[in-house]
Amino acid sequence: MTKNDKEPDAAGTPSDFMVREIDLETGEYTLIMNRSDAVMLGLRSLDRVKVSSGEANLIAIVELTDSVVKGNEVGMLNKGRKTLGVSDGDQIRLVPVTKPRSIEIIKKRLDNIVLTTEEINILTEEITNHRLSDVELSAFVTSTYMHPLTNKEIKDLTLAMVDNGEIIDLDVEPIFDFHSVGGVPGNKVTLLVVPIVAAAGLYIPKTCSRAISSAGGTADILETVANVTIPGWRIKEITESVGGTIAWGGGVNIAPADDIIIRAEYPLSIDPYSQVIASVLAKKKAVGADHVLMDIPTGPHTKVKSLDLARRYARDFMDIGEQIGIHIQCAITFGGQPVGRNIGPALECKEALQILEGAPPSSSAVEKATSLAGILLEMSGYSGDGKERADELLNDGSALRKFREIIEAQGTEIRDITSEDVPVGKYSAEVLSNQRGYVSSINNKSMVRIARAAGCPHDKLGGIVLERKNGHQVDRGDVLFRIFSSNEQKLKMAVTTAQKLSPFQIEGMVLEIVPGEKVIHTVQ
Amino acid sequence: MTKNDKEPDAAGTPSDFMVREIDLETGEYTLIMNRSDAVMLGLRSLDRVKVSSGEANLIAIVELTDSVVKGNEVGMLNKGRKTLGVSDGDQIRLVPVTKPRSIEIIKKRLDNIVLTTEEINILTEEITNHRLSDVELSAFVTSTYMHPLTNKEIKDLTLAMVDNGEIIDLDVEPIFDFHSVGGVPGNKVTLLVVPIVAAAGLYIPKTCSRAISSAGGTADILETVANVTIPGWRIKEITESVGGTIAWGGGVNIAPADDIIIRAEYPLSIDPYSQVIASVLAKKKAVGADHVLMDIPTGPHTKVKSLDLARRYARDFMDIGEQIGIHIQCAITFGGQPVGRNIGPALECKEALQILEGAPPSSSAVEKATSLAGILLEMSGYSGDGKERADELLNDGSALRKFREIIEAQGTEIRDITSEDVPVGKYSAEVLSNQRGYVSSINNKSMVRIARAAGCPHDKLGGIVLERKNGHQVDRGDVLFRIFSSNEQKLKMAVTTAQKLSPFQIEGMVLEIVPGEKVIHTVQ
């Protein structure tokens, strides 16, 4: 068990049991006990016991059985046996202990009582150390959904998550960072923003995630050409020498409590507002960011559905950022259709490289990336027009050179990479328009479902290339988009999905052209 | 899987896997899958899959591992293997399926939306069939705590829990029942109320529970002399022929959803108001009760702490009872100190028998039992004074004869039982007063902790006999109570606990004698 854990009090007398190996792994320490033994010890399902063998000990959560283990035996899962160094037939000693202190803290939340800094520290520490059962975690998550945390509580939670994880401490400053709240497909802009601002001399140790419900996270995208699993000390080295990284967040142990909390949010697909903010800011604080630009894509089929909500996020990000010593600016960006043309890991990487090479197949991705990079440059004190400077760094090849430096530092087999080096799925199909008119909308969620049917994110070579976007004119029989896959069967599934979902809406006349590429509201 | 289950929709393509046996048992069906396979299928922890082998199939909840099972293998726990009839190395087929319908229903609750009857039916059915994970169950329970169910929802939940369980359908009528909300130690009155009213000709198929946090539930108490695990058909037979039963509720499958919900309430020790009502009423409805008397012990160290809360319970029990066709009366009883003298399974059984034999060692237990039995008699239409009639049935030996009939029908090795037949723990110790004065209070919770330290409820022969109660005069060195145990070590622990907790408060002069034995407020 972790040494820092405050020991819970014994709540009963010790008893000796024999270990039975159970080949299973859970996040928390679990102990399987026969129901009759549990009655004797006054234990119920989900109670805690301290389990000791010699000097080693741990706190486990009790699960009961009538059949799996007999009396005087306890079933121990892999993690617990390893910690104690015991195996089948060994003797261990159990003593019931008091519940984790978090239980009373969570109950306070259920009673709508605002938590103190210390209470949030205890809660976060116990979550990090897998001391809470799913029932308890879910009660906390549910309470934050039904009764959101105050900004003060969010601040405390953010700092507690940072403290209970790895911290990357760079010897340079100031540190910049960038984060997109997500939910819009094709959003490969991180692969452009990071090399542009690093080419301008900014330090940006960017960590990013893999796809959860999307067709590809930034880590999946870059992984099609480079290593993204980079330990903390190496993120520091690369950032200090090259200026930036694009590393998978799962490769470092920053704010691990966040992953545990998110697991409990997933079954109900709830994304409590306060947790979104704490989650993002903890990851930025852990890399020592001084200035952060937030991209908040807003639109009907994205995570942030209304401008009001986007503004609320912006305000609270900035407010809490200030409280934890991070200067934050927010760009509310148009999320009404996919960004750029390509969707899916390799296809998005290819498009980013095409843009870096100066042969942009899409204006929206370029516009968005240079606008965001421009804001970061201005945040760094650049006195001219940031976007113009970003365009220059893109057009003169500096950003491409920096991208190559970054991936070579992270590890890649490809020297002087070009967009031609990025493979795509060998099977493809075209989806055609069955009418004439103008594209009036493209459903983000449907595009993601089609890409996932084609194999994304697991099939890194699968995905979609859009041939038409909002406002474009189409004729009957024109190609709307192409689907790629490594697997012929999955390609067929994706085509069927596309036919069923019909993600393009085409109108006979243009009612209103949504100025997708241009809308960047910045808040500072 | 249960045939009545509506099938969820497939949410992916089928894949074949090899079974790996994992010797473990959980309430719901659990499937252990390698993380890489899960990514390929687009599955996350706590997602659902349909698992089939030939014609047999079930819906399982996915848990991920990096190590326990390899790719192309899935770990299956005992229950799932049994249902499918598969073992190590067998081939099974998986297809991701949509989430249980309850997820959207629980999310509505989190958004404070009142659920429809149909939604509550679906939720209860899926809870009963172990379709929900702990995270989901906990979110529901937490929501009922933070935002209580309306009486209409409680009614729907009650009826749904009844419908999703065993029903005991008696061929006689009317059916009476009795329930104590609990929380006060020594409350053996059920062992008196049931034989008294059955002796008067009432039908009372009483089910009762084992100890959870107490020193002994009614089932534990009666089990010291008789069988209490009685199947539903036999509860029907005994009630129809003898007039009453005192059966362990866990021996029949009535309202099983309730047990599953209670398991999720336990870790946070929350006891949501609405769930208490639904839980009690479902058990009464499932035995076909027409008239129910509720005992609501009220006092600072009981479950119901104030008269206001007791009245609220009474009102809602009656309101919802009426909606589901049960006529309910409530007795708000004094819960400020233990009922009677004895605490602990065998000791409480012994005291009940002493009362039935007409040699009462305590007036409070007699008073409470005959008052409650009297109310039930009046509910049955008895036109005289119900309590007087109850006293007669007790004093003329009718209740003792009926008690013997009941336990002989349930199964006992003791013919013509007397209080002398009930054994008590062979080790005992006296706890003495260290001052002179009057007993001003006895802490219920402390008495329970002492009894549990002595081995209750597992040690059925352990417990406490009170020699003094509220208002009694004591001298220095007088015996306040005796502790009994089957185990010398545990007796010592109990004495230490008693010294530490000091459960008796003794004042130099009487400020106010709480009229404990007399206060029965009835509400009808």
**Closest Cβ–Cβ partner in A23, A32, A46 for B266:** A46
CB distance from A67 to chain B under 8 Å? yes
| Contact (CB<8Å) A268/B13 | no
What CATH architecture does domain B176-250+283-419 belong to? 3-Layer(aba) Sandwich (3.40)
Phi, psi of A318, rounded to the nearest 5 degrees: -70, -40
**Closest Cβ–Cβ partner in A44, A135, A264 for B264:** A135
- For A275, half-sphere exposure in the C-beta direction (CA atoms, 13 angstrom radius) is 23
CB distance from B18 to chain A under 8 Å? no
Give which of B135, B220, B450 to mutate to test A binding, by max A Cβ within 10 Å: B135
Give the helix/strand (H/E) hosting B331.
strand B327-334
**Closest Cβ–Cβ partner in A25, A452, A457 for B65:** A25
Q: Where are the domains of chain B?
A: 15-97, 102-147, 176-250+283-419, 427-507
Domains A176-251+284-419 and A427-507 equal at CATH topology level: no
CB distance from B63 to chain A under 8 Å? yes
Phi, psi of A177, rounded to the nearest 5 degrees: -155, 170
Q: What is the pLDDT of residue B278?
A: 95
Neighbours of A300 (CB within 10 A): 12
The tokens for B35 are 């993380």
| Residue B5 pLDDT exceeds 70 | no
In chain A, the largest separation of any two C-alpha atoms, in whole Å, equals: 80
| Contact (CB<8Å) A135/B134 | yes
Rounded to whole angstroms, how far apart are CA atoms A264 and A283? 19
A135 CB neighbours in chain B (<8 A) are 134-135, 137-138, 264, 267-268
Distance from CA of A270 to the nearest CA of B (A): 8
Read off the pLDDT of each residue in B381-398 and give the average, rounded to a whole number: 96
Strands in A54-131 per DSSP E: 56-65, 73-76, 91-97
Q: Which residues contact B118 (CB under 8 A, 6 or more apart)?
A: none
Q: What is the pLDDT of residue B23?
A: 82
CB distance from A269 to chain B under 8 Å? yes
pLDDT higher at A365 or B98? A365
Cα three-residue angle A95-A99-A105, rounded to 5 degrees: 165
What's A176-251+284-419's CATH class?
alpha beta
Known catalytic residues of B? Answer: 271
Distance from CA of A259 to the nearest CA of B (A): 12
Distance from CA of B306 to the nearest CA of A (A): 18
A39 CB neighbours in chain B (<8 A) are 457-458
| Residue B367 pLDDT exceeds 80 | yes
Q: Is A508 exposed, middle or buried (0-12, 13-18, 19+ CB in 10 A)?
A: exposed
The answer to which of A376-390, B388-402, B429-443 has the lowest mean pLDDT is B429-443
CB distance from A474 to chain B under 8 Å? no
- A134, A259, A271, A421: which is the annotated catalytic residue? A271
**Closest Cβ–Cβ partner in B78, B112, B135 for A138:** B135
- Answer whether A28's CB lies under 8 Å from A131's CB: yes
Distance from CA of A344 to the nearest CA of B (A): 14
- For A485, half-sphere exposure in the C-beta direction (CA atoms, 13 angstrom radius) is 19
Strand order in the sheet with B176-180: B176-180, B291-298, B327-334, B520-523
A391 is catalytic: no
Q: What is the dihedral of CA A255, A259, A264, A266, to 10 degrees?
A: 130
Give which of B21, B23, B210 to mutate to test A binding, by max A Cβ within 10 Å: B23
Residue B325 falls in which region: left (phi positive, over 0), alpha (psi -120 to 50) or beta = left
Give which of A135, A270, A271 to mutate to test B binding, by max B Cβ within 10 Å: A135
The tokens for B412 are 């006992």
| Contact (CB<8Å) A24/B75 | yes
Q: What is the pLDDT of residue B361?
A: 67
Scanning B363-402 for CB atoms below 8 A from A yields none
Give which of B67, B268, B275 to mutate to test A binding, by max A Cβ within 10 Å: B268
- The answer to whether domain B427-507 has CATH 3.90.1170.30 is yes
Q: What is the pLDDT of residue B2?
A: 39
Rounded to whole angstroms, how far apart are CA atoms A68 and A75? 8
Band (B522; pLDDT cuts 50, 70, 90): low
Residue B278 falls in which region: left (phi positive, over 0), alpha (psi -120 to 50) or beta = alpha
| Contact (CB<8Å) B268/A32 | no
CB distance from A447 to chain B under 8 Å? no
| Residue B509 pLDDT exceeds 60 | no
Q: What is the pLDDT of residue A508?
A: 65
The ipTM, to two decimals, is 0.83
Q: What is the pLDDT of residue A43?
A: 83
Pinpoint the alpha helices (H) of A86-206. Answer: 102-110, 117-128, 134-146, 151-163, 190-199
Q: How many CB pairs under 8 A join A and B?
A: 137
Distance from CA of B149 to the nearest CA of A (A): 15
| Contact (CB<8Å) A134/B139 | no
Phi, psi of A296, rounded to the nearest 5 degrees: -115, 85
Read off the pLDDT of each residue in B116-134 and give the average, rounded to a whole number: 94
CB distance from A137 to chain B under 8 Å? yes
| Residue B511 pLDDT exceeds 60 | no
Q: Which residues contact A441 (CB under 8 A, 6 or more apart)?
A: A336, A337, A470, A504, A505
Band (B139; pLDDT cuts 50, 70, 90): very high
Q: What is the pLDDT of residue A498?
A: 93
Task: Name the residue of chain B whose CA is nearest to A41's CA.
Answer: B458
- Answer whether B430's CB lies under 8 Å from B190's CB: no
* Nearest residue to A332 via CA among A347, A343, A354, A317: A317
Distance from CA of A108 to the nearest CA of B (A): 11
Distance from CA of B26 to the nearest CA of A (A): 8
| Contact (CB<8Å) B24/A24 | yes
- Answer whether A447's CB lies under 8 Å from A393's CB: no
| Angstrom distances, CA of residue A289 to CA of A169, A175, A294, A331, B18 | 10, 5, 12, 18, 47
**Closest Cβ–Cβ partner in A103, A145, A457 for B267:** A103
**Closest Cβ–Cβ partner in B23, B136, B147 for A267:** B136
Q: What is the pLDDT of residue B259?
A: 87
Read off the pLDDT of each residue in B236-259 and give the average, rounded to a whole number: 94
| Contact (CB<8Å) B269/A78 | no
Task: Name the residue of chain B whose CA is nearest to A489's CA.
Answer: B13
CB distance from A88 to chain B under 8 Å? no
Q: What is the pLDDT along chain A (524 residues), one digit of tens a residue?
A: 343 445 677 766 778 999 998 888 777 888 999 988 887 787 888 888 999 999 999 999 998 888 778 889 999 988 899 999 999 999 999 988 888 999 999 999 999 999 999 999 999 999 998 889 889 999 999 999 999 999 999 999 999 999 999 999 999 999 999 999 877 899 899 999 999 999 999 999 999 988 877 899 999 999 999 999 999 999 999 999 999 999 999 899 999 999 899 888 888 878 788 999 999 999 999 999 999 999 999 988 888 889 999 999 999 999 999 999 999 999 999 888 999 999 999 999 999 999 999 976 667 899 999 999 999 999 999 999 999 999 999 999 999 999 999 999 999 999 999 999 999 999 999 999 988 888 888 999 999 999 999 989 888 999 999 999 988 889 989 999 999 999 998 899 999 999 999 999 888 654 433 333 334 555 54
The tokens for A270 are 């709830």
A268 CB neighbours in chain B (<8 A) are 103, 106-107, 110, 135-136, 139
Distance from CA of A341 to the nearest CA of B (A): 24
Read off the pLDDT of each residue in B226-246 and give the average, rounded to a whole number: 97
Q: What is the pLDDT of residue A509?
A: 52
CB distance from B102 to chain A under 8 Å? no
Q: Which residues contact B242 (CB under 8 A, 6 or more apart)?
A: B198, B402, B405, B406, B409
Distance from CA of A452 to the nearest CA of B (A): 8
Fold adopted by B15-97: Barwin-like endoglucanases (2.40.40)
Q: What is the 3-state secondary structure (H, E, C) of A342-401?
A: EECHHHHHHHHHHHHCCCCCCHHHHHHHHHHHHHHHHHCCCCCCHHHHHHHHHHCCHHHH
Residue B472 per-residue DSSP state: -
| Contact (CB<8Å) B99/A267 | yes
CB distance from B126 to chain A under 8 Å? no
What is the rounded average pLDDT for all residues in chain B?
90
| Residue B42 pLDDT exceeds 80 | no
Pinpoint the alpha helices (H) of B34-150. Answer: 35-41, 78-84, 102-110, 117-128, 134-146
pTM > 0.90: no
A26 CB neighbours in chain B (<8 A) are 63
Rounded to whole angstroms, how far apart are CA atoms B214 and B445? 9
Look at the alpha carbons of A21, A22, A25, A28 in this order and tell me if their dihedral is positive or negative. Answer: negative
